[in-house]
C-alpha cells in the first residue's frame, strides 16, 4: 500500500510510500491507496477511479511522441516523468497534449 494526497475535488496531487506522509493544508488529505494507483486516478469518496482513456487515437499519440522525443533531453524528461507516475511515456505525451 501507498498513500495518496487527495484534493477536495478528488484529484490526486502526490503518491508516497506509507510512512512518508507529511503535514498538509486542511483542504488536502492522505488516503491509503493500492500500489498501482497513479496521479491520474481520482478519489470518488469510496475508492479510486481509473484514469480516463486519452481521446487522441493511439497512432496519433505515437506520432506526436516521436516528434516530442527527437530532443534527447526532452525524451529523458518524458521517460523520467512516466517512471515517477508509473505510467507509459505515451500517457505523458497525452497529458502534454491535453494541456495545450
pLDDT in tens, 40-83: 899 999 999 998 776 656 666 676 667 666 777 877 888 888 88
Could you say which DSSP state residue 24 is in? Answer: -
Residue 90 in contact with residue 62, Cβ under 8 Å? yes
The pLDDT value given to residue 75: 77
CA distance 43 to 57: 26
Residue 14 in contact with residue 39, Cβ under 8 Å? yes
19-46 exposure pattern, b = at least 16 Cβ within 10 A, e = fewer: eeeeeeeeeeebeebeeebbbbbbbeee
pTM: 0.54
E-only strand ranges, 1-100: 2-7, 12-17, 28-33, 42-43, 48-49
Three-state secondary-structure class, residue 79: helix
Cell matching residue 64: 506526436
Confidence of residue 90 (pLDDT cuts 50, 70, 90): confident
The pLDDT value given to residue 72: 79
Condensed to tens digits (0 to 9), the pLDDT of residues 2-48 reads 999 999 999 999 999 999 999 999 999 999 999 999 998 999 999 99
Amino acid at each position: 500500500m501507498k498513500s495518496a494526497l487527495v484534493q477536495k475535488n478528488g484529484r490526486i496531487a502526490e503518491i508516497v510510500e506509507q510512512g512518508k506522509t507529511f503535514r498538509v493544508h486542511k483542504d488536502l488529505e492522505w488516503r491509503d491507496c493500492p500500489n498501482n494507483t497513479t496521479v491520474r486516478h481520482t478519489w470518488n469518496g469510496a475508492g479510486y477511479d481509473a484514469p480516463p482513456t486519452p481521446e487522441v487515437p493511439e497512432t496519433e499519440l505515437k506520432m506526436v511522441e516521436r516528434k516530442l522525443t527527437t530532443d534527447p533531453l526532452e525524451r529523458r524528461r518524458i521517460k523520467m516523468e512516466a517512471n515517477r507516475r508509473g505510467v507509459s511515456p505515451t500517457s505523458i505525451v497525452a497529458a502534454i497534449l491535453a494541456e495545450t
